[in-house]
Structure 1
Amino acid sequence: MRIAVFGSTGRTGRLLCERALARGHEVTAHCRNAGKIADLDPAIRRVEGDLSDTAAIARALDGADVAVSALGTTSRKPNTVLSDATKAILAAMEQAGTRHFAAVTSLGCGDSYGQVNSRLMKLIIKTLAKEIWADKERQEEAIMRAGLDYLIVRPGGLTKGEASGEWTELRGGQRSKGKQMIARADVADYILTRCESLPFGNDTVMLV
Structure 2
Amino acid sequence: MKVTVFGATGQIGRLVVGDLLADDHDVTAYVRNPGKLGHSDPHLVTVTGELSDEARIQQAVRGSDAVISALGPLLRRGSTGTPVTDGTQNIVAAMQTEHVERYIGLATPSVPDERDSPTLKAKVLPVVAGLLFPNALNELVGMTTAVTQSDLDWTIARITRPTSGRPKGTVRAGFLGRDKVGSVMSRADIAAFLVAQLTDETFSRAAPAISN
TM-score by length of 2: 0.87
Paired with 2:189 and 2:121, the residues of 1 have a C-alpha distance of 19
Unmatched tracts of structure 1, length 5 or more: none
The sequence identity of aligned pairs, in percent, is 28
Unmatched tracts of structure 2, length 5 or more: none
Q: CA RMSD in A?
A: 2.3
Summarize the alignment of residues 33-182 of structure 1 with structure 2, pairs less than 5 Å apart. Answer: 33-37=33-37, 39-43=38-42, 44-74=44-74, 75-76=76-77, 77-111=79-113, 114=119, 116=121, 124-171=128-175, 173-176=177-180, 180-182=183-185
Paired with 1:115 and 1:42, the residues of 2 have a C-alpha distance of 47
The aligned counterpart of 1:5 is 5
- Is 1:108–1:115's contact at 8 Å kept on the other side of the alignment? no
Paired with 2:15 and 2:119, the residues of 1 have a C-alpha distance of 29
Are 2:210 and 1:207 aligned? yes
Output the amino acid matched with 1:193: A
- Is 1:8–1:31's contact at 8 Å kept on the other side of the alignment? yes
- Is 2:73–2:140's contact at 8 Å kept on the other side of the alignment? no
The structure-2 alpha-carbon separation of the partners of 1:163 and 1:116, relative to structure 1 and needing over 3 Å to count, comes to: farther
- Is 1:105–1:155's contact at 8 Å kept on the other side of the alignment? yes
TM-score by length of 1: 0.88
Give 1:54 deviation, angstroms: 1.4
- Is 1:110–1:137's contact at 8 Å kept on the other side of the alignment? no
* Cα deviation 1:133-181 (Å, max 9, x = unaligned): 121011111111111110011012000121222110122532537x610
